[in-house]
Amino acid sequence: MKALLTTSTLLFLLVAGCLSSERTVQIAEVPEVVIDAAMAAVPGIEIQEVSVDSEKGQTVYEIEGVTASSEFEIEISEDGQVLEIEEEERENEG
């Protein structure tokens, strides 16, 4: 029974790892069309981190950044189409 549980757990972790191919990339590696789309979608954004993933066979970039008042996560396709924008207001530090 213990061996079956261990095997099942390992199999689950292996499959879960294969399903997500998300990886962090340097901003310099991101296509200019993606950066331009992020800047157009959220004027004044300061990009802090970018990750890339494959969703339904499409390469998608997740841009994380901030403005003076909000934090953003923007999903953008490799051709520059904005797929989703999430905004969270920043807490005042004062």
pTM > 0.85: no
Q: How does pLDDT run across 78-92, given as a tens digit for each residue?
A: 999 999 999 999 887
Structure tokens belonging to residue 49: 């981190």
Condensed to tens digits (0 to 9), the pLDDT of residues 31-62 reads: 999 999 999 999 999 999 999 999 888 999 99
Please give the domain boundaries of the chain with CATH numbers for all domains. Answer: 22-89 (3.10.450.40)
Here the tokens at position 44 are 């004044």
SS3 of the chain: the string is: CHHHHHHHHHHHHHHHHHHCCCEEECHHHCCHHHHHHHHHHCCCCEEEEEEEEEECCEEEEEEEEECCCEEEEEEEECCCCEEEEEEEECCCCC
